[in-house]
Amino acid sequence: MLGRKDYTREELDRAKATISRQMTAYKRVAKSVDGSANGSKAASALDGFDAEFFNNMVLVLDRPFVHRLRMATGKDCNPLNEVELLVDALLNNRGIFRTNNVIKYDPEKTVLKIDDGEVIQLDAAGFERLSKAFFEDLEAKFVAR
């Protein structure tokens, strides 16, 4: 597939709906764990599940837009590039976050504030902030108005 410098409103809306369905399902499970008669055991299992689930959700977030062009994303520290670096770390570096020579990465300017060399372990709140910022940046740079 060739690189893309624009996406349709429908593509953006479909991706948002996918993320929304996954988050709704996660929240249903988390709520049932809170009300579980076997609370501490279930809560412990959910805690162990969270990082795996939300790390994988970054891949779900990125996939529909994986062919975005650098000329549109830029080289600055923005949510699109933050997701790109997260995906690379999750797929190619055993979940250890690494910067590169292309993106001018400054953790203080990012959504998650992850430092180079840190193990990626997202939670619900972090993923929700990241996905919101990602979609806003994607819409501003790639979706025609």
As a whole number of angstroms, the distance between CA 113 and CA 94 comes to: 19
Query: Is residue 3 situated within a structural domain?
Result: no
Tell me: pLDDT of 1 over 90: no
Beta strands in the chain (DSSP E): none
Residue owning tokens 């990082």: 51
Cβ-contact 118, 96 below 8 angstroms: yes
Query: Is residue 1 situated within a structural domain?
Result: no
pLDDT in tens, 106-119: 999 999 999 999 99
pLDDT in tens, 123-143: 999 999 999 999 999 999 999
Range of the domain at 68: 9-142
As a whole number of angstroms, the distance between CA 54 and CA 46 comes to: 12
The 10 Å CB-count burial string (b at 16+, else e) for 73-105 is beeebbbbbbbbbbbebbeeeebebebeeebeb
Query: Is residue 4 situated within a structural domain?
Result: no
Q: What is the token pair recorded at 144?
A: 């025609």
Query: Is residue 22 situated within a structural domain?
Result: yes
As a whole number of angstroms, the distance between CA 82 and CA 114 comes to: 9
Q: Taking the model in full, what pTM does it have?
A: 0.92
Counting the structural domains of the chain, the total is 1
